[in-house]
Amino acid sequence: MTPLQDATPKPPRYPADLEASMILPKQRASPASSLASLPYRRSNPSLHKLFESTTSLSGSRPSSGSATPTASVVPSSTFSPGSRLNGAGTPGSLPPGVSDEHRLLIQRAFAPHVVVLADTETEELMRRKGLEGGLLQLLRPFGESVPGKVTIRDSVGAGKSCDDFGVRFVGINEGLGLPPRNPNLRVNTTNGQSEGARTSSSAVPPRRIGGDVAQIEELVDRHLQYSEFNTEGMVSDYLSQSEPVPAEATSSPFYTLYLRRLLSGLPLVPHETFAHPVAGVIAISSRNPNPIEELRRLYKRQHDGDLRLPQWVENDFLRYYLLIHDEDTGDIAKSNQTFDAMKRHFGLHCHLLRLKSQQCIPSDDDSVRLPTCEWMSAGEELAEIQKRETADDITDPTPYIPDSDITAIKTFVRELVAQSIVPNMERAIATWNEQVLARRRGISGRFMSLSKRWTPFGSSRNSSSPTLSSNSNYDSLQGFYRPDAPEALMRKLADYCFMLRDWKLALSTYDILRTDFQNDKAWRHYAGAAEMAALSALMSTTPLSSKTRTENIDAWIEAASYSYTDRQRSAAPYYALRTLALGLELLRLRGSGAADDAARWASRILETGLVGAVGTALFTERISACYAVRTGVGAFKLGSRRRKAALWAVLAAENWWRLDKALQAEKCLDAATRLYGIHGQETQTGGPVKLPFPQMQAYIDELRQQILGLRLTNRGLLLDEDGEGGAEVAQSLMVEEATETLDKSPRGHRKSLIGMVAPPPIDVGPLSPRLERGPEADRRDDQFEGA
């Protein structure tokens, strides 16, 4: 049916670096050549789904139906379900207040990590189900949000239930850097784990570890391009421009995506333990002949064998034993027997998971699409996009699994989290709080830390660290604390508190750690503690009343961002960016007083050059949003930052325009004019309201013109190109199959992605009737609109 099914299989090449991809849209081929390959591209529904599923989180996740519990978790009010850009566009009408969205995002981002290890039989079973990634791929989407409420007791014993708790299932070898780095992806100068050499190079080809700013930028740019060229109703939008647009939304979905990817796939590093496993799932199949021995073997491999984590990772985390029963071929009586044996040997942390082993296809009765991971790293999502773009198959490559499997997995995840992981973490917190923190906090602990600092022989605490250079526990040569050192335990305690949302204890612990790390001159650790201290202080819902408190937090953020970047040549700009970005988001939520600070941190991001081109535009936009939060008091709006917000909105519009993102530029410019109060109003004499400053008015007018021109260019409406394009279209009508061969440019295929002409006003499925009509119709359309 699709005439271009047999188009050249040459995959589009992807620019390795951002700059190259920025300028792509300018060097397009004639519209005809891009037109030729356009329907093929656009009719790839799986690709569309990928973009949609990431940018509209709460929108309709395709065909997952009731299987995605996350839909209700993300505050759905922040995105209008029917946004105009295929779900990738502007969030719709939001009351011009502040939404909690990013706080929830941060809260969900720091989740306990669970290592998944399965035996070969299980992996084979999964492969037969069509899951190339094995058990991990099956479990991962379901761990991101645990169904139902999870009750957490904090350090004082007060219970608190949260319904958006999640865990991250990760592979055992992900932090280890077993395979070499994928050379296609840009070397992450940003990861900067100079000391932990084993971790810095990280993963299997779809890189699961995040922390690479360049990749995040590339990914967001990809999403932006998609929205830029796949918007429906671009024309109608332009025509209705004079109508009042819904009040300025707090954030663009692309910024949310940026933050989410920034927080996805936290790297395994010594100076913070968020990515250190809290628990490990060891899975075997029921078909394994001697299951108990296999479980022991896997445990040994993980504990001290070849799969052992680096030595700065605590190795005695909770192990959870999982028996996977094959519903189709296995014998349930035998599995039950095995399961009982497992329970006898390993205690209560066991589960029997019953899965079907047959492959499921979409047309099956109760098949459900495997949900997309929300928290995949940027590199992983990029790889996924590329895979789907180059795939010839128009069907969705996402595996489908039976409904019964989903129920079983959900039950398993819930049990794992609610009965094993959370209680275990609570217990660990209580123990450490009593044994480590209380001792450190007490008078003797203070004295000891003093004596450690000032006397040459007061080293009563360093017995756990044999390789010490001074009398501290910090191994300054390799840059870590041993996992059983009090500092490491306290850091773990604080991180556990943070993950369980006990902000108060986390804050006090981080604060103690900060001074300890500073005394030890463990700068990376110090920065980490300062960062998390600031974040946990801001995350707590108690009002930060006094000015001094704010100054405190400012000092922490400052110290963290400074120590992450400037000290000791061991720069970790990723972490600095994380500190500043999260700090600014949380400060912004603190209302008008802190909005200035938020904007200041955002401009710090820009000044220190922590982000690339896309990030610059996004954060410029964000500064505008920060200032816009400050509305001022009284009738005269004293203390408002309206004009500042407008300035930054104009700057953002210009940035977007430079990046050839007409839609975003337009949006920012509209926001700016609204802030200046000249949007869509008319003076009494009838003309539009002008800015008082003629130079400013001229600048804005010119910018608008340029954006309009860019938008037309993006749609392939340049007149001179029209002329030669017409001839080619005529030819292509004659020999429809030969369209691709006319495409002389070597870059034709790549351009086709970007230099698309206007898409049809409806979201066509794979087989659009437009294809039968032929490109002539499109051509006529274009000339009509161009005229």
Partner 1 sequence: MSYFFTIFSPTDTPLFTHEFGTSRSGGDGIARFTASERSLAPFILHSSLDIVEELQFGPSSTSGSAPMYLKHIDKYANNFVSCWITGANVRFLLLTRPRDEALGLAGGGGAGARGSLAGGRVTGSGLYDPRSPATEEAVKNFFVDVYEAWLKTVMNPFFHAGNGDVVKSPVFRQRVAAAAKKYL
**Candidate list 333, 477, 638, 734; residue touching partner 1; CB under 8 A:** 638
Compute how many residues bind partner 1; rule: CB under 8 A.
Answer: 29
The one among 269, 610, 665, 757 contacting partner 1 by CB under 8 A: 610
What SS3 class is residue 779? helix
Instruction: Kindly state the smallest distance separating residue 623's Cβ from partner 1, in Å.
Output: 11
Taking the complex as a whole, the smallest distance from the CB of residue 608 to partner 1 amounts, in Å, to 3
Which residues, numbered 230-269, are part of the site for partner 1 (CB under 8 A)? Answer: none
CA separation for the pair 517, 221 (Å, rounded)? 38
Instruction: Confirm or reject binding of residue 629 to partner 1 (CB under 8 A).
Output: no
Q: Applying CB under 8 A, does 650 fall inside the site for partner 1?
A: yes
Per the listing, tokens 């463990």 go with 522
Helix-strand-coil split of the chain, %, nearest 5 = 55, 5, 40
Angle ∠(119,125,127) on CA atoms, nearest 5 = 105
Query: Which two three-digit tokens encode residue 332?
Result: 């349930």
Q: For residue 563, what is the enclosing H or E element?
A: helix 547-565
Taking CB under 8 A as the criterion, which residues in 473-492 touch partner 1? none
| Interatomic CA distance for residues 656 and 613, integer angstroms | 9
Alpha helices in 611-718 (DSSP H): 613-629, 642-658, 662-676, 694-714
Query: Please, what sign has the CA dihedral across residues 609, 614, 615, 616?
Result: positive
Nearest CB to partner 1, comparing residues 166 and 612: 612
Strand pairing report for 318-326 and 277-285? parallel
The only residue of 16, 391, 468, 571 in contact with partner 1, by rule CB under 8 A: 571
In whole angstroms, the minimum distance from the beta carbon of 652 to partner 1 comes to: 12
Site for partner 1 (CB under 8 A): which residue of 207, 588, 644, 750? 644
Q: Which stretch binds partner 1 (CB under 8 A): 330-338, 392-400, 496-504, 637-645?
A: 637-645
Contacting range for partner 1; rule: CB under 8 A; set: 79-87, 147-155, 636-644, 719-727: 636-644
Q: Are 53 and 16 in contact (CB under 8 A)?
A: no
Q: Choose one: 26-34, 51-59, 131-139, 562-570; the region binding partner 1 (CB under 8 A).
A: 562-570
| Sheet strands (E) in 87-181 | 113-118, 150-153, 159-162, 168-171
Task: Answer for the pair 753, 389: CB distance below 8 angstroms, yes or no.
Answer: yes
Alpha-helical segments (H) within 686-747? 694-714, 719-734, 739-742
Asked if 190 is part of the footprint of partner 1 (rule: CB under 8 A), the reply reads: yes
From the list 246, 639, 761, 769, which residue makes contact with partner 1 (rule: CB under 8 A)? 639
Which value, in Å, is the radius of gyration of the alpha carbons in the chain? 28
640 interacts with partner 1 by CB under 8 A: yes
Nearest distance in Å: CB 130, partner 1: 41
Those residues with Cβ within 8 angstroms of residue 221's Cβ, 6 or more apart along the chain or in another chain: 18, 21, 22, 614, 659
Given 463, 541, 545, 695, the residue binding partner 1 (CB under 8 A): 695
Q: CA-CA distance, 295 to 302, in Å (whole number)?
A: 11
| Interface pick for partner 1 out of 394, 468, 696, 742 (rule CB under 8 A) | 696
Shortest distance in whole angstroms from residue 461 CB to partner 1: 34
Residue 588 interacts with partner 1 (CB under 8 A): yes or no: no
Residue (213 or 385) nearer to partner 1, CB = 213
Element (H, E) at 96: none
Q: Does 699 bind partner 1 (CB under 8 A)?
A: yes
Q: Whole-number minimum distance, CB 256 to partner 1, in Å?
A: 23
In the numeric block, the tokens 């104009």 are attached to 650
Is residue 378 involved in binding partner 1 (CB under 8 A)? Answer: no
Nearer to partner 1, 444 or 568 (CB): 568
Q: Give the range of 162-170, 486-494, 506-514, 633-641 binding partner 1 by CB under 8 A.
A: 633-641
In whole angstroms, how close is the CB of 710 to partner 1 at the nearest point?
18
Q: Does 566 bind partner 1 (CB under 8 A)?
A: yes
Encoding tokens for residue 18? 């951002």
Does the protein bind partner 1 through residue 665 (CB under 8 A)?
A: no
* From candidates 608, 706, 713, 768, binder to partner 1 by CB under 8 A: 608
* CB of 189 or CB of 470, closer to partner 1: 189
Shortest Å distance, C-beta 637 to partner 1: 9
Closer residue to partner 1 in complex, CB, 641/770: 641
For the purposes of burial, counting CB atoms within 10 Å of the CB of 304, is it exposed (0-12), middle (13-18) or buried (19 or more)?
Answer: exposed
Provide the terminal-to-terminal Cα distance of the chain, rounded to the nearest Å.
33
Answer yes or no whether residue 692 interacts with partner 1 by CB under 8 A. Answer: yes
Joined tokens for residue 787:
């005229």
Query: Considering the rule CB under 8 A, would residue 718 count as an interface residue with partner 1?
Result: no
Compute the distance between CA of residue 617 and CA of residue 611 in angstroms, rounded to an integer.
9
643 binds partner 1 (CB under 8 A): yes
Going from the C-alpha of 57 to that of each of 112, 224, 259, 617, the distances in angstroms are 21, 16, 13, 22
In the complex, the smallest distance separating the C-beta of residue 607 from partner 1, rounded to whole angstroms, is 8
Distance between CA atoms of residues 223 and 245, nearest Å: 23
- Secondary structure (H, E, C), 167-185: CEEEECCCCCCCCCCCCCC
Which residues are CB-contacts of 7 (< 8 A; sequence separation ≥ 6)?
37, 40, 740
CB atoms within 10 A of CB 63: 16
Nearer to partner 1, 698 or 762 (CB): 698
641 binds partner 1 (CB under 8 A): yes
Q: Kindly tell me which of 644 and 751 has the beta carbon lying closer to partner 1.
A: 644
Exactly one of 565, 579, 673, 752 binds partner 1 (CB under 8 A); which one? 565
Least distance CB 187 / partner 1 (angstroms) = 12
Query: Amino acid letter at 421?
Result: I
User: In this complex, which beta carbon is closest to partner 1, that of residue 480 or of residue 564?
Assistant: 564
Q: Is 578 in the site for partner 1 (CB under 8 A)?
A: no
For partner 1, the closer of residues 338 and 616 by Cβ is 616
Distance CA 143, CA 161 (A): 17
Q: Which of residues 170-189 bind partner 1 (CB under 8 A)?
A: 189
For residue 401, the SS3 value is strand
Which residues of the chain form contacts with partner 1 (CB under 8 A)?
A: 189-190, 213, 565-566, 569, 571, 573, 576, 607-610, 638-644, 646-647, 650-651, 692-693, 695-696, 699
